[in-house]
Structures are given as C-alpha cells and as structure tokens.
C-alpha cells in the first residue's frame, strides 16, 4: 500500500534524540529554546513560543489577545478547514462563526466573511489551507476596516510566504503545527508567533502553569502544562535542517502530479499569484472522489477526502456556533466549501515517495478515467 503520508525521519533525528538522552534532559530545556529561536529566525517573528500542539497554540493565542475579556465574543473561521481551528475558539470561551471559502484555492472568502460580522465579532482567522497563503492584503484591510484582530492559522504553512513575508506573522498572532503530517514534524507540537511582547509573555505563562518560567512556585495567574519537551525540540531542529530539501521535494512531486494528470476529468486547486505554495497535500478535484478512492485502494494506493465543512459537523449544531449571518447549518450558505468537500481527494504526499510510486499513482488514475471517461467534473455546486 502506498500510504497517504509518512513522516520524513532518519539518522539526523536519531542523533539529536541521542544527545538529549546523553545529556539526561528530556523535558523542556535547551533544545526547545534552540528550536524556538530557529523558528523565529525562519519566520522573522520577534517571538516564538512553543507548546504541545497547534490547537493549544491557537487557544493560547486567543486568550493572550484578551478576546475572552468580553462576556461573549465571536471569531470568523473558514468553513473549509480542519476542525481544530473552530475548536480552539470554543476552548477559549468564544463562538466560531463560519464563512465560505474561494472555490479556486480553498482559502477564506472575505465577501462571505462580511455576512458574518456582528457587534460581537472580535477577530478573523484566515487559514493557510493546504500550504498556500490566504490573501493577506485583503485580510488585513478587512480587519482594519471592521476594527477586529487577526489570528493566522498557519498550521499547514511552514515555509510559506505571502509577498516574501512568512505566513503567521501578519496578524497580532499566528501559529504553526508540527503534527506528524506537517511540513516539519515533532510528532506533536505547536508554536505561537507574534511581534507583541505582552502576547508572547502571556503565552509563556499560560504554558508554564501561570509562571514566567520554571523552578519556583509563584504563579501570577491560572496556567496549565502546555510545554513541548526537549525530545520534540530535538526532532524539530533536525527537521529544520532538512526544510529546504523537504520543500523542494514537495514542489517537485506536485509538478509531476500536475503534469501526469493533465486530463479532462481532473482539476487542481489554483495557486495564488503572490503566495509561495508548499504543498501540504497533493490534491485533485474529480466528479466522484469516493468511487475513485475505492478504485485506488483496490490498486494499493491510500487516499483521503478533503476536509468536511464545519457547519455540517455533528458537534457544531446551532447551539454551539455564533450568531453571524451565515452560521446556520444550511449548505446554501457555503456552496464552495460543500463543493470542495464533494469533489476533493488527497493523493499520497510523503516526502519519501519514489518517482516510480508517483508515476504508478498517476497511471492508475488515468486508467480509471479511461474506464470512466464520462466522469467530467462540473463547477455546479449541486453536482
């Protein structure tokens, strides 16, 4: 079976882990600090604060932005994203309000976001979906016009830039995720990025049981244990040294997929003109992804559907999401999110894929459409 994704780990990670064990320091310590410094250098952020995972990074960011000072607050979240984007808002005491996305890219649609604005709207959360930047010029202008804050979900955006500036560094705060399938991985892990010293210090206290540091028992506020370990930091450092190579391989693989699948029955998401895309997944759009996925599985190829629209998630019924104009559980309010879910399929995306494996995946897809040549994808959201 050609897996949908496998982590890209090797001797470099083993060596870094061995150094931690030899030093007998495996909880948060010098490796975590070094990893934070390297991420800050990579992104240009003044502060990088590590934590357990991307969801917690979003939560800490929302709390540190003091959105929770309102008795009730709402955050505009794209309907087409992994559910953690919305869950973090709930965890921070707010309500997510879902807006539609652009069909061409999967990124946030600000015309739809306008319909979500209420007196309770305190922030907007652009998600740099599948490793491509949202239009940050438009997002920042939208936020300024409506006097709200920007929190960037750049969980899938390591190494991605908008007009030469790293995603996650445009708003008041942004985050990375280092889960196993991300561009670089620490197994589990997240990072808060900000140029605001007060936000950074608040995040440090939140992850350190309400303290500015470890080793004493004075707690300035309620905090938690959201720390990253040195074992994770060590793996992250090894991954960072391979980042340029990882990005180039991902781009090369994407180019092959696009070249080999130039057939009428297959479409691809468009690339933003000003975004440097780092493919989080190699994605295609087809008429019947469920049927194609079954065929590929029968031929030893693992795939995944696109993200399910948040407004259709069972946990987000009308009692659990905000009061914005498009939050109702009505697919007519989210035609592009629904369409992408209906037609999207993620193909094997491991950095370790061989060229023979990619060629085999593409050949198998082409063979499928030779047998199903009438399956032409339509732009009609109802088909």
Task: Pick left, alpha or beta for residue 44 (phi over 0 → left; psi -120 to 50 → alpha; otherwise beta).
Answer: left
Sign for the pseudo-dihedral over CA of 141, 144, 145, 149? positive
pLDDT given for residue 16 in this prediction: 96
Does domain 11-241 correspond to CATH entry 3.40.640.10?
Answer: yes
40-90: per-residue pLDDT in tens?
Answer: 999 999 999 999 999 999 999 999 999 867 778 999 999 999 999 999 999
Helix (H), strand (E) at residue 139: helix 136-146
pLDDT given for residue 381 in this prediction: 52
pLDDT band at residue 351, thresholds of 50, 70 and 90? Answer: very high
Q: Which two tokens stand for residue 41?
A: 């250098």
Q: Catalytic residue, from 102, 149, 182, 287: name it.
A: 182
pLDDT averaged over every residue in the chain: 94
pLDDT given for residue 325 in this prediction: 42
Tell me the CATH architecture of domain 243-371: Alpha-Beta Complex (3.90)
- Predicted TM-score (pTM) of the model is 0.95
182 in active site: yes
78-124: per-residue pLDDT in tens?
Answer: 999 999 999 999 999 999 999 999 999 999 999 999 999 999 999 99
Helix (H), strand (E) at residue 176: strand 173-177
- Statement: residue 217 has pLDDT above 90: no
Q: How far apart, in Å, do the first and last CA atoms of the chain sit? A: 31
- Statement: residue 239 has pLDDT above 50: yes
- What are the boundaries of each domain within the chain? 11-241, 243-371
Q: Phi/psi of residue 168, each to 5°?
A: 95, -5
- Statement: residue 174 has pLDDT above 60: yes
Asked if the domains at 11-241 and 243-371 fall in one CATH topology, the answer is no
């Amino acid at each position: 079976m050609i897996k949908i994704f496998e982590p890209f780990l090797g001797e470099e990670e083993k060596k870094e882990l061995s150094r931690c064990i030899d030093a007998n320091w495996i909880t948060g310590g010098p490796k975590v600090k070094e990893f934070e410094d390297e991420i800050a250098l990579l992104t240009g952020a003044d502060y990088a604060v590590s934590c357990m995972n991307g969801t917690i990074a979003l939560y800490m960011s929302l709390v540190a932005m003091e959105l929770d000072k309102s008795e009730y607050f709402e955050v505009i979240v794209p309907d087409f994203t992994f559910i953690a984007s919305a869950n973090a808002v709930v965890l921070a005491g707010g309500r997510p309000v879902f807006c539609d996305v652009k069909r061409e890219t999967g990124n946030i649609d600000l015309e739809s976001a306008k319909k979500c604005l209420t007196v309770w709207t305190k922030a907007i959360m652009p998600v740099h979906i599948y490793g491509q930047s949202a239009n940050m010029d438009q997002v920042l202008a939208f936020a300024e016009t409506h006097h709200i804050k920007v929190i960037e979900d750049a969980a899938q955006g390591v190494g991605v830039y908008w007009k030469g500036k790293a995603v996650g560094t445009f708003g008041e705060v942004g985050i990375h995720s280092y889960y196993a399938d991300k561009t670089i991985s620490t197994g589990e892990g997240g990072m808060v990025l900000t140029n605001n010293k007060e936000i950074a210090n608040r995040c440090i206290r939140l992850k350190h049981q309400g303290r500015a540091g470890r080793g004493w028992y004075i707690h300035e506020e309620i905090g938690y244990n959201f720390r990253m370990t040195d074992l994770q930091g060590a793996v992250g450092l090894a991954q960072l040294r391979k980042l340029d190579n990882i990005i180039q391989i991902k781009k090369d693989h994407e180019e092959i997929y696009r070249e080999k699948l130039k057939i009428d029955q297959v479409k691809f998401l468009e690339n933003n003109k000003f975004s440097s895309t780092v493919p989080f997944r190699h994605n295609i759009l087809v008429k019947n992804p469920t049927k194609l996925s079954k065929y590929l599985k029968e031929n030893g190829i693992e795939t995944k559907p696109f993200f399910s629209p948040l407004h259709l998630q069972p946990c987000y019924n009308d009692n659990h999401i905000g009061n914005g104009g498009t939050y109702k559980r009505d697919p007519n309010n989210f035609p592009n999110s629904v369409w992408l879910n209906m037609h999207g399929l993620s193909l094997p995306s491991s950095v370790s894929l061989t060229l023979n494996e990619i060629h085999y995946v593409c050949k198998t897809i082409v063979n499928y459409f030779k047998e199903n040549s009438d399956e032409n994808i339509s732009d009609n959201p109802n088909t």
